[in-house]
């Protein structure tokens, strides 16, 4: 009989030995190891009686814990004590539809054939639980590196989550890779629901694209399919997964694969771009021929399964120009097209016949107008000119367009609209009836837009298209809304301030090529203008290339003569015209009354002619009271010069009148254009010349007297003659400042002539009597030879 413990905590026992077991006495013996406080407490408590009714509970809840403290046995064999197994990790899995899996961890205790599960997050202590064994199980558990993160709590340190809800890829990875590893480690797994046979595929995706005719004439349905190991992937979930940046996609069959592939990322980008064009879901994609560049990238990405014949024809020339037979030069064109102009005409004709539009962005002076007129002639000869072509241009060049059309396409009927419908007091349709080309100004187009949009048009041509670069302006809205099967923007500077300039023009001539302004800004403008995304810039170039033709003067130098001359005709604005006409009547009467005695009155006559020449340039040169009237020629010159400067070219600008050069100086300063200046009063002549030759200024303003001799300015490749001179030899000397030995560039010469003024008469007289001006001394000097009365009359009489 145990008498008690020795020591605290007990490290030995005192036992009474009964006489029937040997010599009676007290036995003292050491324990193999000291008792714990819990064990000592049990010994001190003495005998514990468990009622029979509580025996099962005792064995379930207390006996396992008691066994871990002290050995337990039945001294009389009246109780059969079960074996107590150590706890095991258990996992319950519930598979649901759509790649869903809910799981819960527990510790499983087995006692006498009965399993008891304790949830992993159950913090309640119990005599039945073995905390040390549970902790050891968790420490020993290892999961594969790719195990879903949802299996762990955030930490620190991370711990196994008691429950988790897995979806999609996590379900596939867990089932195929994690679950076998858990079973190998002895985890007891209980599965509810049906688990798919998940399988990882490392095969390369096969992308197939197709186009089919759509119910809408100008659109085509786009089909895209992707296969993995011969299994077709539903497109919409693939696109959604790519758009979300997910790493893998799980198919209904259980196959899952990595989305981290360049071809799939490129597919995502292309589909996103196509979807953004119309704000349509990815599974309902459409393309127009304006997306030929996008189609080309899709085509290069995969296998073309089927292709609409109409689609193939629509984009064939845009993608492979040589596959389309080039159209012949129209018989009605009275001009010889240089090679690059022939290419431009053919490109325009193809766009027109395909129902597309574009931007002709050649350098100034390369003949954008004649290329356009050639395309109009072609349209008329092929029966496509069922209605007029509307040309919208700055007011100052409306007359020039009509003159160019008469010169290069005499078979076309041209109408110039120069006043509002209200002022004309007749319908616009009456004015333009029977016309092949109607030319109007941007201002009139905007004011009378209701009249223009009410008429049918075969095409819309926007000359100097920078006038519609502001997509928030009314003129832009008018150009975009006007219905026409062919729209063309003509400008030497399609991009001046930002990429939105280009977006505006293309949204008119190639609607649907790019998404709305906000999306375009985020997708293209910001990353490109910040220099952050070279790939995005390359994509933009691919998109726009089929719809923009731009040739610089340097690129086509071999096709150009060494010197190319052109007359730029300027229409005077109404206020300018009114002043000129008033003075013309007075000076005409004066001169005609004096011309019969030319020798006596030559200075008076020359003074009157000079006054009219100045009025043709700027009314303020004659009288300061006209300072508020804008100079039509200065306006047109600044428009032309801006294009030259923006193109990286350099220009010489000549005028006989230093007063007008002063007007131009002020306008250049307002526009922020650097210039050098030279007239007869300039003292630091060498410094001014070096300022231009050294590249500090792209523009050199020169008066006739100061620049006629001794200058070698081959740095310039453009010359502007602001006013025609009596002596054509003086003009030639001015031009020769740039076009002379040592010049390695083609020189463009522009003679600016105010229409229906004395300048126009001077030009006509030059043509009739080239030798006349060799006998005339300019600027009030003595006439070298008599000028006939008939010559003078021709300058003043219609």
Q: How far apart, in whole angstroms, are the C-alpha atoms of residue 92 and residue 70? A: 33
Q: Is 83 within the bounds of a domain?
A: no
Give yes or no: residues 219 and 188 share one domain.
no
Contact 616, 723 (CB under 8 A): yes
Give yes or no: residues 543 and 616 share one domain.
no
Give yes or no: residues 488 and 541 share one domain.
yes
Sign of CA dihedral 633, 634, 639, 643: positive
768: left (phi over 0), alpha (psi -120 to 50) or beta: alpha
Q: Is 611 within the bounds of a domain?
A: yes
Contact 173, 146 (CB under 8 A): yes
Q: How far apart, in whole angstroms, are the C-alpha atoms of residue 489 and residue 474? A: 17
Residue 603 pLDDT > 90 = no
| CB-facing half-sphere around the CA of 423: CA atoms within 13 A | 7
Query: Most distant CA pair in the chain: distance in Å?
Result: 176
Among 293, 319, 345, which residue terminates a domain? 319
Q: How far apart, in whole angstroms, are the C-alpha atoms of residue 674 and residue 684? A: 18
- Give every CB contact of residue 203 below 8 A, 6+ residues apart in sequence: 228, 229, 257
Give yes or no: residues 378 and 311 share one domain.
no
Q: Is 569 within the bounds of a domain?
A: yes
At 643-660, the pLDDT tens digits run: 888 888 889 899 989 999
Give yes or no: residues 116 and 219 share one domain.
no
User: What band does 18 get if pLDDT is binned at 50, 70 and 90?
Assistant: confident
- Give every CB contact of residue 452 below 8 A, 6+ residues apart in sequence: 390, 428, 440, 445, 478, 482
Alpha-carbon distances of 114 from 84, 85, 117, 717, rounded to whole Å = 11, 11, 10, 101
Among 266, 285, 319, which residue terminates a domain? 319
Q: Is 719 within the bounds of a domain?
A: yes
Buried b / exposed e along 393-432 (16+ C-beta atoms within 10 A): bbbbbbbbbbbbbeebbeebbbbbbbeebeeeeeebeebb
Nearest residue to 180 via CA among 198, 155, 166: 198
For residue 383, the domain's CATH number is 3.40.50.10810
Q: pLDDT value at position 411?
A: 93
Give yes or no: residues 176 and 209 share one domain.
no
Alpha-carbon distances of 424 from 265, 417, 421, 573, rounded to whole Å = 60, 10, 5, 17
Q: Is 74 within the bounds of a domain?
A: no
More confident call, 151 vs 66: 151
Give yes or no: residues 789 and 643 share one domain.
yes
Residue 44 pLDDT > 90 = no
Q: How far apart, in whole angstroms, are the C-alpha atoms of residue 4 and residue 238? A: 77
Give yes or no: residues 330 and 454 share one domain.
yes
Segments forming the whole domain that contains residue 470: 325-554
The overall average pLDDT reported for the chain is 80
Q: pLDDT value at position 239?
A: 77
In the chain, % of residues over pLDDT 70 = 80
At 462-505, the pLDDT tens digits run: 998 988 888 888 998 999 899 998 999 998 877 766 788 888 89
- CB neighbours of residue 756 within 10 Å: 17
Q: pLDDT value at position 438?
A: 96
Give yes or no: residues 148 and 218 share one domain.
no
More confident call, 579 vs 305: 579
Give yes or no: residues 679 and 713 share one domain.
yes
Q: Is 259 within the bounds of a domain?
A: yes
Contact 251, 233 (CB under 8 A): yes
Residue 301 phi, psi (nearest 5): -80, -30
Q: Is 75 within the bounds of a domain?
A: no
At 528-565, the pLDDT tens digits run: 877 777 877 887 787 788 888 988 877 887 776 667 78
Contact 24, 15 (CB under 8 A): no
Q: Is 78 within the bounds of a domain?
A: no
Q: pLDDT value at position 766?
A: 64
Q: pLDDT value at position 717?
A: 82
Q: pLDDT value at position 13?
A: 81
Give yes or no: residues 248 and 276 share one domain.
yes
Enclosing H/E stretch for 677: strand 675-678
Among 319, 354, 386, which residue terminates a domain? 319
Give yes or no: residues 243 and 303 share one domain.
yes
* Structural domain total, the chain: 5
């Amino acid at each position: 009989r145990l008498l008690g413990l020795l020591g605290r905590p007990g490290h030995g026992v005192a036992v009474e030995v009964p006489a029937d077991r040997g010599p009676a006495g007290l036995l003292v013996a050491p324990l193999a190891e000291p008792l714990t406080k819990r064990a000592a407490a049990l010994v001190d408590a003495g005998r514990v009686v468990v009622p029979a009714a509580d025996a099962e509970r005792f064995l379930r809840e207390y006996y396992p814990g008691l066994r871990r403290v002290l050995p337990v046995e039945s001294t009389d064999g009246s109780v059969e004590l079960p074996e107590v197994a150590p706890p095991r990790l258990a996992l319950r899995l519930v598979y649901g539809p759509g790649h869903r899996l809910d799981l819960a961890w527990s510790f499983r205790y087995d006692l006498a054939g009965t399993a008891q599960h304790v949830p992993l997050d159950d913090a309640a202590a119990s005599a039945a639980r073995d905390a040390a064994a549970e902790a050891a199980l968790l420490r020993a558990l290892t999961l594969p590196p790719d195990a879903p993160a949802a299996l762990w709590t955030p930490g620190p340190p991370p711990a196994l989550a008691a429950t988790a809800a897995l979806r999609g890829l996590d379900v596939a990875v867990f089932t195929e890779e994690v679950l076998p590893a858990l079973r190998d480690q002895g985890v007891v797994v209980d599965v509810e629901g049906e688990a798919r046979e998940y399988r990882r595929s490392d095969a390369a995706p096969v992308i197939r694209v197709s186009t089919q005719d759509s119910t809408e004439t100008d659109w085509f349905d786009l089909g895209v399919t992707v296969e993995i190991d011969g299994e077709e992937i539903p497109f919409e979930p693939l696109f959604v997964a790519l758009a979300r940046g997910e790493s893998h996609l799980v198919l209904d069959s259980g196959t899952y694969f990595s989305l981290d592939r360049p071809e799939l990322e490129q597919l995502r980008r292309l589909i996103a771009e196509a979807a953004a064009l119309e704000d349509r879901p990815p599974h309902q994609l459409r393309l127009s021929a304006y997306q030929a560049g996008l189609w080309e990238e899709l085509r290069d990405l995969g296998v073309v399964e089927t292709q609409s014949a109409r689609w193939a024809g629509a984009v064939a020339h845009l993608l492979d120009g040589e596959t389309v037979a080039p159209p012949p030069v129209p018989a009605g064109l009275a001009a010889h097209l240089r090679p690059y102009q022939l290419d431009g005409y053919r490109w325009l004709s193809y766009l027109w016949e395909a129902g597309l539009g574009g931007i002709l962005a050649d350098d100034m002076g390369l003949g954008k107008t004649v290329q356009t007129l050639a395309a109009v002639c072609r349209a008329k000869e092929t029966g496509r000119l069922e209605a007029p072509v509307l040309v919208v241009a700055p007011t100052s060049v409306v007359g020039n367009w009509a003159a160019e059309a008469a010169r290069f396409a005499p078979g076309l009927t041209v109408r110039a609209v120069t006043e509002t419908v209200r002022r004309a007091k007749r319908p616009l349709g009456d004015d333009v009836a029977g016309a092949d080309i109607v030319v109007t100004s941007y201002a009139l187009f905007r004011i009378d837009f209701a009249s223009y949009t009410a008429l049918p048009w075969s095409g819309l041509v926007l000359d100097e298209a920078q006038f519609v670069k502001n997509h928030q302006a009314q003129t832009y809205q008018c150009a975009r809304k006007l219905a026409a099967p062919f729209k063309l923007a003509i400008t030497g500077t399609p991009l001046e301030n930002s990429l939105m300039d280009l977006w505006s023009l293309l949204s008119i001539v190639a609607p649907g090529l790019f998404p709305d302004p906000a999306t375009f800004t985020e997708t293209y403008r910001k990353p490109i203008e910040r220099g952050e995304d070279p790939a995005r810039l390359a994509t933009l170039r691919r998109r726009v290339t089929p719809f923009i033709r731009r040739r610089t003067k340097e690129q086509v130098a071999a096709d150009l003569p060494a010197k190319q001359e052109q007359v730029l005709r300027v229409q005077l604005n109404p206020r300018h015209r009114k002043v000129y006409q008033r003075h013309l009547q007075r000076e005409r009467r004066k001169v005609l009354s004096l011309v019969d005695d030319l020798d006596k009155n030559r200075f008076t006559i020359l003074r009157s002619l000079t006054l009219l020449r100045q009025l043709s340039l700027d009314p303020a040169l004659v009288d300061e009271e006209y300072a508020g009237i804008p100079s039509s020629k200065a306006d047109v010159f600044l428009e032309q010069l801006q294009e030259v400067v923006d193109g990286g070219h350099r220009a010489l600008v000549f005028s006989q009148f230093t007063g007008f050069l002063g007007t131009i100086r002020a306008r250049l300063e307002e526009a922020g254009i650097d210039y050098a200046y030279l007239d007869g009063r300039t003292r630091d002549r060498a410094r001014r010349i070096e300022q231009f030759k050294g590249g500090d200024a792209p523009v050199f303003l020169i008066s006739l007297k100061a620049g006629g001799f001794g200058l070698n300015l081959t740095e310039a490749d453009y010359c502007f003659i602001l006013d025609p001179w009596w002596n054509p030899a003086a003009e030639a000397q001015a031009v020769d400042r740039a076009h002379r030995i040592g010049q390695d560039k083609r020189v463009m010469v522009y003679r600016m002539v105010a229409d229906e003024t004395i300048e126009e008469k001077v030009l006509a007289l030059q043509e009739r009597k080239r030798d006349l001006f060799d006998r005339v001394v300019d600027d009030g000097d003595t006439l070298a030879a008599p000028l006939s009365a008939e010559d003078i009359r021709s300058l003043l009489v219609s």
